[in-house]
């Protein structure tokens, strides 16, 4: 394959060019209630060419090798036009030249499992909730996605890497009278098919929770001290903090760049946040980004102080900051953009039980159910929660909507447990969809959380 790519890129006349070829294979199975609604297996491929010429950087995607010359001509012309119209010419930070093929270690390769076996697995999970009469319906999906990526640059970098994602996702919906409740199901990862197997107990547990929610009381609106579990604290870290650590998000906002200056004190002394795509056996793992840059752990916050951010080669040069290896494309149709890999709050010294004792009276909130950010303000829903009284978990609560300000919330984190967990299911919709964007955290106490309710 590299011989063909080399012959294409050799025809480019520019200051710099890279070409990514990718084969993508998708298997998708869906149940809508008891009905099988989709069962597909697709294979597609294509190329993404990037050209830097006369200070302009441009991208052209194409799917047929015979279109390469046309794509090169278009890219070169567009780069020159862009170079004439931008204030500052684009520069790319220097990076090491790499030649490597990387295959992740898989417990079971989903490519070796028949679609019939995958259907049997999903059908088994989907039937579990229907053992209970108050289950109204389900939405259950199995998906595996294989991306075989080939990257070549005019600087000499040549990498080939496979990204393989397997996941079961969905929802279980209960109903009693006019009241309906929903709970999400999700497990899988990037280390093979085994993570999708033998998860019946988890589906049973989720079914019990969604049935219990029919008897739970709605939360009373107010301001609370609360413990956030790993998934909920992780999605806060990703959505409310992580995106502002992506250099391209803030580069054209003077106010945000001022607030997110390296060295700014943003959080409490106990709060440290890192993004690390090099963690193997995790959803967000990769070795090289889609600019051919080696991924590396990036400390974003240390003891409450902003110490780093995520970069592409362009933004690293513009900011004068180190490369991080976080320029990622959804697939062969797109140019890479800055994305989180595996972002997480680093573990503290407390146990979960000691957090309950420190909390005393408050709330224990679990798992995200959608949300959005607007500037530095955020709104998230928790799937369910519990009241905590005298350090003991008591009544279940529902209908929990959380809102707040990023900077104030970072300063309100007063205790962090030692039980950091990265999610098996992630995802991010910034510009493109990235199903492998991973986030996590330990349990944390937030001293002031605004809850909407009755």
**Residue 241 parent element (H or E):** none
Q: Are 154 and 262 members of one domain? A: no
Question: Which of 162, 197, 215 represents a domain boundary (last residue)?
Answer: 215
Split at pLDDT 50, 70, 90, the class of 423 is: very high
Helices vs strands, H then E, count in the chain:
10, 23
Which pLDDT score is estimated for 372? Answer: 80
Q: Are 113 and 195 members of one domain? A: yes
Answer yes or no: is pLDDT of 374 > 90. Answer: no
Question: Which of 157, 192, 215 represents a domain boundary (last residue)?
Answer: 215
Answer yes or no: is pLDDT of 193 > 70. Answer: yes
**What's the rounded Cα separation, in Å, for the pair 176 and 127?**
20
Which pLDDT score is estimated for 133? Answer: 95
Answer yes or no: is pLDDT of 375 > 90. Answer: no
Min mean pLDDT across 114-118, 169-173, 236-240, 324-328 is at 236-240
**What's the rounded Cα separation, in Å, for the pair 257 and 190?**
34
Q: Are 410 and 262 members of one domain? A: yes
Q: Residues 6 or more apart from 177 whose CB is under 8 A from it?
A: none
Q: What is the pTM assigned to this prediction?
A: 0.96
If you average pLDDT over residues 409-418, what whole number do you get? Answer: 97
If you average pLDDT over residues 159-188, what whole number do you get? Answer: 98
> CATH number for the domain including 159?
3.30.2290.10
Which pLDDT score is estimated for 454? Answer: 66
Split at pLDDT 50, 70, 90, the class of 315 is: very high
If you average pLDDT over residues 317-321, what whole number do you get? Answer: 97
Pair 62, 68: CB distance under 8 Å: yes
Residue 315 belongs to what domain range?
218-452
82-102: pLDDT as tens digits = 999 999 999 999 999 999 999
Split at pLDDT 50, 70, 90, the class of 234 is: very high
Question: Which of 215, 250, 273 represents a domain boundary (last residue)?
Answer: 215
Q: Are 279 and 413 members of one domain? A: yes
Q: Are 31 and 100 members of one domain? A: yes
If you average pLDDT over residues 112-141, what whole number do you get? Answer: 98
Chain mean pLDDT for the chain? 97
Answer yes or no: is pLDDT of 452 > 90. Answer: no
Q: Are 134 and 188 members of one domain? A: yes
H-assigned helices in 28-67: none
> Domains in the chain: how many in total?
2
């Amino acid at each position: 394959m590299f011989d063909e790519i080399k012959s294409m890129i050799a025809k480019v006349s520019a200051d710099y060019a890279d070409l990514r070829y990718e084969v993508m294979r998708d298997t998708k199975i869906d149940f809508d209630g008891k009905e099988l609604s989709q069962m597909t297996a697709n294979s597609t491929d294509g190329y993404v060419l990037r050209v830097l010429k006369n200070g302009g950087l441009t991208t052209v995607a194409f799917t047929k090798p015979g279109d390469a010359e046309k794509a090169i001509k278009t890219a070169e012309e567009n780069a020159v036009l862009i170079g004439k119209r931008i204030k500052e010419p684009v520069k790319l930070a220097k990076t090491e030249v790499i030649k490597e093929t990387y295959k992740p270690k898989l417990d079971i390769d989903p490519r070796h499992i028949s679609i019939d076996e995958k259907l049997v697995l999903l059908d088994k999970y989907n039937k579990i909730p229907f053992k209970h009469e108050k289950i109204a319906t389900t939405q259950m999906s199995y998906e595996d996605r294989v991306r075989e990526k080939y990257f070549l640059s005019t600087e000499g970098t040549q990498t080939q890497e496979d990204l393989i994602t397997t996941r079961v996702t969905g929802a279980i919906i209960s109903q009693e009278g006019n009241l309906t409740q929903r709970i999400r199901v999700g497990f899988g990862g990037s280390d093979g098919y085994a993570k999708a197997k033998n998860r019946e107990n988890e589906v049973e547990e989720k079914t019990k929770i969604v049935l219990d929610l029919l008897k739970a009381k709605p939360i009373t609106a107010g301001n609370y001290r609360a413990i956030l579990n790993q998934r909920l604290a992780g999605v806060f870290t990703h959505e409310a903090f992580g995106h502002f650590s992506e250099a391209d998000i803030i580069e054209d906002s003077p106010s945000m760049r001022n607030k997110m200056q390296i060295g700014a004190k943003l959080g409490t002394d106990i709060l440290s946040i890192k993004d690390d795509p090099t963690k193997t056996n995790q959803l967000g793992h990769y070795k090289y980004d889609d600019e051919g840059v080696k991924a590396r752990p990036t400390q974003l916050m240390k003891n409450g102080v902003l110490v780093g951010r995520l970069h592409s080669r362009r933004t690293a040069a513009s900011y004068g900051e180190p490369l991080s290896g976080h320029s990622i494309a959804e697939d062969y149709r797109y140019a890479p953009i800055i994305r989180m890999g595996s972002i997480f709050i680093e573990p503290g010294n407390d146990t979960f039980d000691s957090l309950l004792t420190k909390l005393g009276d408050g709330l224990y909130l679990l798992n995200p159910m959608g949300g959005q950010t607007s500037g530095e303000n955020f709104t998230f829903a928790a799937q369910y929660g519990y009241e905590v009284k005298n350090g003991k978990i008591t009544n279940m609560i529902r209908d929990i909507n959380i809102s707040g300000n990023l900077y104030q919330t970072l300063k309100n984190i007063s205790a962090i447990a030692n039980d950091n967990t990265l999610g098996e299911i992630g995802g991010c919709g910034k510009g493109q969809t990235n199903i492998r964007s991973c986030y996590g955290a330990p349990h944390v106490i937030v001293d002031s959380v605004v809850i909407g309710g009755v």
